Homo-oligomer: A and B are copies of this chain.
């Protein structure tokens, strides 16, 4: 059985718009985060205590006009120790065939003091459903490129 998707719907209001009358990128990022966070929390279960660790990638493929009801789906694509990577897809709008947005976000499980800990239980990840193949493939390619803290130490702040 495939891992359960988490689905959310949002009405794009003027308060979410840029001056072109389409979804403002700041609101788009928040929508993506909220769906990813809900997906991760549901995957981990009631003991989830998660914080965003990184955005691995996020593409804005199409402008979304004010007044649109958008649908965003998410699944857990990968886990290791106290970390999980979640994929989100802004489902194609009426009359389109491509997602208006897709992204990969990584979360860490933390304890009450905010320190990283292991996931409380194994988390089911997405099966090979076609919808998630493009993001799963990109996640694999990105695996080697994570921003190294060592680079910043070398930068000598």
Contact = CB atoms under 8 A, between A and B. Distances in A.
Given A54-B58, A99-B157, 11 more contacts: A6-B9, A10-B38, A14-B14, A14-B17, A14-B19, A18-B51, A26-B29, A51-B63, A55-B57, A55-B103, A134-B155
A131 interface: yes
> Which label, helix, strand, loop or mixed, suits the secondary structure of the A interface?
mixed
Contacts of A20: 51, 114
8 contacts: A8-B8, A15-B15, A18-B51, A25-B37, A46-B94, A133-B151, A134-B147, A142-B142
A34 B11 contact: yes
A107 to B, nearest CB: 9
B147 A59 contact: yes
A79 interface: no
A11 B48 CA distance: 12
Interface in A1-27: 6-22, 24-26
Interface of A: 6-22, 24-26, 28-30, 33-35, 37-38, 41-42, 46, 48, 51-61, 63, 66-67, 69, 91-92, 94, 97-99, 102-103, 114, 130-131, 133-135, 137-138, 141-142, 145, 147-149, 151-157
A13 B18 CA distance: 6
Contacts of A103: 55
User: What 9 pairs across the A-B complex have the smallest Cβ distances?
Assistant: A19-B67, A134-B151, A25-B52, A9-B38, A55-B58, A29-B29, A26-B30, A46-B94, A15-B15
